[in-house]
Amino acid sequence: MREILFKAKRIDNGKWVEGCYISSHEGTFIQTKCVEHYCVPAVSCKKVIPETLCQFACLTDKNGNKIWENDIFQYTDEAMVTQKDLIEYNETHASFVRLRNTEKLGFQYLLIDEATCNHGEVIGNIFDNKELLLEESDE
């Protein structure tokens, strides 16, 4: 079964929190816990920065780390060239893809599957490590 999970940065301390996504007139929240105490459900929600909201892609990298939307994914291709791609949800393909910016071809959308994930790893995300994508474009 597919696990629908989100993460975002907390407003109060900037730390990442993951769980269920909730949007209301009071803001954007991540529900982190739902426990039952004496038959009464208790829910813990953290207010988050909406621009940092990322969905889990239901895949893990070669190290077992979850792959999220907006992650920077490093992968060595068949020609032994290391690539850095941005993980993004593509509505046209109705799936998560790797967005690659190449000098010759411009932006490319590449499918991300388990085989690719087993040979690559998440090295950061665009919110905390945007410079990792900029390094490649300077070369």
Determine the Cα–Cα distance for residues 40 and 35; give it in Å rounded to an integer. Answer: 8
- What pTM does this model have? 0.84
Q: What is the DSSP letter of 4?
A: -
pLDDT of residue 135: 60
- What is the band of 36 on the pLDDT scale with cuts at 50, 70, 90? low
**Contact, 5 vs 19, CB < 8 A?**
yes
pLDDT (tens digit, 9 = 90+) per residue, 49-101? Answer: 999 999 999 999 999 999 999 999 998 878 888 889 999 999 988 899 999 87
pLDDT of residue 4: 86
pLDDT over threshold 90, residue 124: yes
Instruction: Give the count of beta carbons closer than 10 Å to the beta carbon of residue 81.
Output: 8
Q: Edge to edge, what strands does the sheet with 6-9 contain?
A: 40-47, 27-37, 16-24, 6-9, 54-60, 66-68
